[in-house]
Amino acid sequence: KGILSKKSDYEGLRILVTAGPTREPIDPVRYISNHSSGKMGYAVAKAALERGAFVKLVTGPVNITPPSGAEVVCVTSAIDMYNEVMKSYESFDVLVMVAAVADYRCASVSESKIKKSGDRFTVELVKNPDIAAELGKVKGDRVLVGFSAETDNLLENAALKLASKNMDMIVANDVTVEGAGFGVDTNIVKFIKRDGSSIDLPIMSKEDVAHRILDEVLSIGKG
Ligand code: CTP
Ligand code: CA
């Protein structure tokens, strides 16, 4: 879309984006993770760069190339991502949390490869820090945007997250709908804002969704 590219409305703004999955180690050869491809987060980073922002992309392990011009920090676990974000968020104006952060990590990580033994095997998990929620507590006048990938009760769940994490906007998508799931190049999203207003978007490329998010962020920042 010619009209969406080559704006420079983000010049002078600094945007921090998390993307991709995290990996939570079980032992030296195994981990717990999820299906996030990183495409949506990378699209947000790229769109912000095109519009003149300084972009820091904190990314879990994915198979796509980061947009050139971004400061890219590759992390693995949720704790790593949390530490990286918390040490740098202060210098940013806009925080967009697209990463699919693992909610739990192993209570203890085995130093050696776990050998196969009985018919059942149990891993104890403990809760990871919630990066978006922690940012919500300290964000001040920074604009905080989150994502909410749901399989049911989309609007209720998303609205609860928006409020509990003190976000300015949440991007909700139903991952069971064709064209909005993991790994695809399109998304079907709804934006819910702090004032309760919402915007329903049709199926779009992740690039176009990214630009629409950036449009809304600017209107929130000015409002
Ligand atoms: N998020 C985060 N850190 C976490 C978990 C989630 O920063 N440890 C962020 C995600 O990047 C996303 C938002 O919080 O922007 C919502 O993530 P989601 O997994 O949908 O929400 P949860 O609060 O973890 O709830 P649940 O997984 O139970 O639906
Ligand atoms: Ca979660």
pLDDT tens per residue, range 4-51: 556 899 999 999 999 999 999 999 999 999 999 999 999 999 999 999
Smallest Cα–Cα separation from 19: which of 185, 142, 147? 147
Report residue 204 as tokens.
């779009």
- Give residue 208's pLDDT: 97
Q: Identify each DSSP E strand in 120-168 by its residue range.
A: 125-127, 143-150
Ligand closest to Cα of 157 equals: 1
Nearest-angstrom CA–CA distance, 178 and 176: 6
**Atom 4 of ligand 1 has which residue's CA nearest to it?**
130
Instruction: Please provide the average confidence, as pLDDT, over all residues in the chain.
Output: 95
Note the pLDDT tens digit of each residue in 72-114.
Answer: 999 999 999 999 999 999 999 999 999 999 999 999 999 999 9
- pTM for the model stands at 0.96
ipTM of the complex: 0.99
Asked if residue 39 lies in contact with residue 64, where contact means CB atoms within 8 angstroms, the answer is yes
- Give residue 1's pLDDT: 45
Q: Which helix (H) or strand (E) holds 36?
A: none
Confirm or reject: Cβ of 20 under 6 Å from ligand 1.
no
Mean pLDDT of 191-220: 95
Asked if residue 160 lies in contact with residue 195, where contact means CB atoms within 8 angstroms, the answer is no
Note the pLDDT tens digit of each residue in 108-137.
Answer: 999 999 999 999 999 999 999 999 999 999
Confidence of residue 2 (pLDDT cuts 50, 70, 90): low
Asked if residue 146 lies in contact with residue 190, where contact means CB atoms within 8 angstroms, the answer is no
Asked if residue 5 lies in contact with residue 50, where contact means CB atoms within 8 angstroms, the answer is yes
Nearest-angstrom CA–CA distance, 29 and 25: 8
**Atom 28 of ligand 1 has which residue's CA nearest to it?**
103
- Give residue 176's pLDDT: 87
Confirm or reject: Cβ of 99 under 6 Å from ligand 1.
yes
Confidence of residue 183 (pLDDT cuts 50, 70, 90): confident
- Give residue 27's pLDDT: 98
